[in-house]
């Protein structure tokens, strides 16, 4: 006989959504799905029941995994479902074992990843995550699929750290407290008196940037412009270069590995129009806003799950030597980061801050209208990075992650750059209506060739 729930078991906290999360809700109808997906591959067999039990523990430990969207009178909030038998039932649907898929076949894993990337999860019902396990004797794979309103890549790395530790016999993760923060805390100046000058400087930069972009022929491997989107396409890709060589050349050019990849992407796009003086490569770069919250706010980065990401543009034009290109890109990246530090990114964020007030219906109307009229922001690609994830494997761990492929839905081409055990993983997501698989394969081949050339030229700068 079923037992009626008690009032205490029905209690569930709510969280305010930040403006990025409101945007994800609004754009989901246009994009088709907004689930970020991670494919993890391991070095040895995992007992499915053991993996399932650990994942269920982590859904209990991290409350945001139980978040659902709840409509209010004028806006939306996130409701955290109680950790009870209802969550058990929802988890039963979220977990699936795909024993028919061969985890030893990279093409089969890519096809499954593509399918998962296009799946829709019920925003107002839950769970907003899916766990797909592909067993194998030597290289099993787990697909983690999470609606983007739950968290970003930095939160995902915390989850993967806990997962690997627990699978290797670590202690059970206790229930974690909830934290939520408005982006305003990471963007606004400390004093209200500073707002006018910070807004003005931010406006000036956006005006100069907008004028430059309008003057350029922005190069794209997957040209945008279709009035309606189709499906997210995905290519897994490992760049055929050793990351030690990348790191060595990055040091020679006074760049990070991520900045060197940005340089290669810019060079690749400019190669599409070598004789066009107005050809431009425009790469949007993600920035983790957690570093910009004031210390007195008391936020703990480990607990600050959700979406705390800003962005700026790197724009390259014309022919330059390798050192000139590297210096230009470094200067733009340094300036972009400094503008966040100086609190001079406010103007571009004001439309986003209005999203909770505008509401989902009006936001969706605006987004659909921009897409149909070809007014969506035009860039070459978006590049974000998980960094070097090798450290997620503890030195003495028996079960190790040997591959991590991250994919994020996007209306423009998007890379998630990841380094793991000497490999540079550069998967790409794009809209199928914008380019064929063959066209994107040719683009990835160009990227490989460009990186190989940059490594050769970089070594030559110091005599090999």
Whole-structure pTM value: 0.91
* pLDDT exceeds 90 at position 182: no
Give me the pLDDT at residue 413, please: 94
Mean pLDDT of 173-202: 84
Most confident of 175-184, 230-239, 347-356: 230-239
Give me the pLDDT at residue 408, please: 92
More confident residue, 164 or 229: 164
- Please choose, from the candidates 341, 310, 15, 338, the residue with its C-alpha nearest in 3D space to the C-alpha of residue 183: 310
What's the chain look like in SS3?
Answer: CCCCCCHHHHCCCEEECCHHHHHHHHHHHHHCCCEEEEEEEECCCCCHHHHHHHHHHHHHHCHHHHEEEEECCCCEEEEECCCCHHHHHHHHHHEEECCCCCCCCHHHHHHHHHHHHCCCCCCCCCCCEEEEEECCCCCCEEEEEEECCCCCHHHHHHHHHHHHHHHCCCCCCCCCCCCCCCCHHHHCCCCHHHHHHHHHHHHHHHHHHHHHHHHCEECCCCCCCCCCCCCEEEECCEECCCHHHHHHHHHHCCCCHHHHHHHHHHHHHHCCCCCCCCEEEEEEEEEEHHHHCCHHHCCCCCCCCCCCEEEEEEEEECCCCHHHHHHHHHHHHHHHHHHHHCCCCHHHHHHHHCHHHHCHHHHHHHHHHHHHCCCCCCCCEEEEEEEEHHHHCCCCCCCCEEEEEEECCCCCCEEEEEEECCEEECCEEEECCCCCHHHHHHHHHHHHHHHHHHHHHHHHHCCC
Residue with tokens 């209506």: 433
Percentage of the residues of the chain whose pLDDT score is greater than 90: 64
12-47 pLDDT tens trace: 788 888 878 888 887 777 777 889 999 999 999 999
What is the set of domains in the chain, with CATH numbers? Answer: 13-167 (3.30.559.10), 216-345+354-399+407-461 (3.30.559.30)
Percentage of the residues of the chain whose pLDDT score is greater than 70: 94
Where does the pLDDT of residue 302 fall: very low under 50, low under 70, confident under 90, or very high at 90 and above? low
Where does the pLDDT of residue 9 fall: very low under 50, low under 70, confident under 90, or very high at 90 and above? very low
More confident residue, 133 or 31: 133
Whole-number mean pLDDT of the chain?
89
Where does the pLDDT of residue 309 fall: very low under 50, low under 70, confident under 90, or very high at 90 and above? confident
* pLDDT exceeds 50 at position 202: yes
More confident residue, 462 or 354: 462
Give me the pLDDT at residue 330, please: 97
Where does the pLDDT of residue 352 fall: very low under 50, low under 70, confident under 90, or very high at 90 and above? low
Mean pLDDT of 185-199: 86
Record the tokens describing residue 444, joined without a space: 């990835």
């Amino acid at each position: 006989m079923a037992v009626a729930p008690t009032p205490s078991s029905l209690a569930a906290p709510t969280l305010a959504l930040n403006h990025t999360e409101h945007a994800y809700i609004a754009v989901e109808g246009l994009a088709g799905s907004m689930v970020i997906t991670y494919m993890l591959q391991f070095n040895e067999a995992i007992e499915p029941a053991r993996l399932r039990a650990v994942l269920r523990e982590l859904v209990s430990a991290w409350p945001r995994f139980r978040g659902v969207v709840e409509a209010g009178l004028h806006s939306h909030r996130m409701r955290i479902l109680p950790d009870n038998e209802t969550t058990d039932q929802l988890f039963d649907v979220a977990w699936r074992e795909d024993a028919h898929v061969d985890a030893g076949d990279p093409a089969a894993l890519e096809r499954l990843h593509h399918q998962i990337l296009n799946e829709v999860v019920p925003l107002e019902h839950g769970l907003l995550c899916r766990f797909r396990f592909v067993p194998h004797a030597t290289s099993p794979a787990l697909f983690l699929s999470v609606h983007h309103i739950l968290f970003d890549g930095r939160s995902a790395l915390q989850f993967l750290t806990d997962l690997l530790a627990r699978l290797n016999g670590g202690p059970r993760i206790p229930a974690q407290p909830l934290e939520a923060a408005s982006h305003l805390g990471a963007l606004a100046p400390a004093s209200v008196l500073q707002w006018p000058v910070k807004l003005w400087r931010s406006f000036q930069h956006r005006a100069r940037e907008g004028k430059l972009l309008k003057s350029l022929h922005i190069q794209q491997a997957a040209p945008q412009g279709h009035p309606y989107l189709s499906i997210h396409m995905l290519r897994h890709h490992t760049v055929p270069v050793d990351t030690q060589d990348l790191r060595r050349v990055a040091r020679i050019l006074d760049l990070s590995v991520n900045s060197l990849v940005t340089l290669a992407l810019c060079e690749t796009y400019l190669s599409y129009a070598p004789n066009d003086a107005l050809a431009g490569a425009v790469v949007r770069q993600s920035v983790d806003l957690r570093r910009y919250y004031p210390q007195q706010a008391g936020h703990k980065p480990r607990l600050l799950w959700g979406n705390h990401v800003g962005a700026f543009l790197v724009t390259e034009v014309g022919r330059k030597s390798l050192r000139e290109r590297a210096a230009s890109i470094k200067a733009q990246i340094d300036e972009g980061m400094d503008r966040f530090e100086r609190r001079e990114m406010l103007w571009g964020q004001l439309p986003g801050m209005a999203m909770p007030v505008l509401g989902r219906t009006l936001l969706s109307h605006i987004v659909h209208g921009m897409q149909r009229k070809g007014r969506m922001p035009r860039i070459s690609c978006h590049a974000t990075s998980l960094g070097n994830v090798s450290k997620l494997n503890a030195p003495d761990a028996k079960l190790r992650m040997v591959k991590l492929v991250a994919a994020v839905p996007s209306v423009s081409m998007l890379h998630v750059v990841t380094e793991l055990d000497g490999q540079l993983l550069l998967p790409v997501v794009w809209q199928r209506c914008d380019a064929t698989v063959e066209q994107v394969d040719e683009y990835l081949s160009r990227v490989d060739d460009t990186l190989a050339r940059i490594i050769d030229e970089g070594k030559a700068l110091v005599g090999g």
